[in-house]
Amino acid sequence: MAKLTLDEWISRLKKNKSFNHNAAAIVEIPAKQGDWEDYPAWVNPSLRKVLEKRGMEKLYRPGAGGGVYSQRSGCRTGDTDSQR
């Protein structure tokens, strides 16, 4: 299977009858600049060092939704598996 760009993958998905039959809606949300913040003071320095070494230098703060996301993983702190 050829490697697809994200735009190619989405285009194929939109044309997939099986997907469209099961999808309630396809909504495109325009991109916007992320809101990043430094780690809180309560984060263990050892953990912060490991995360920064892995490229997670700051945390993403979503707008009204609450919670804080890792810059790399996209998983919000406090999420359960069913919320990811």
The answer to whether residues 14 and 26 touch, using CB atoms and an 8 Å cutoff, is: yes
Give the torsion through C-alpha atoms of 16, 19, 21, 23, to 10 deg.
Answer: -130
Predicted local confidence at residue 83, as pLDDT:
47
Contacts of 5 (CB under 8 A, 6+ apart): none
Please state the pTM of the whole predicted model: 0.42
DSSP label of 76: B
pLDDT band per the 50, 70, 90 thresholds, residue 69: low
pLDDT higher than threshold 70 for residue 68: no
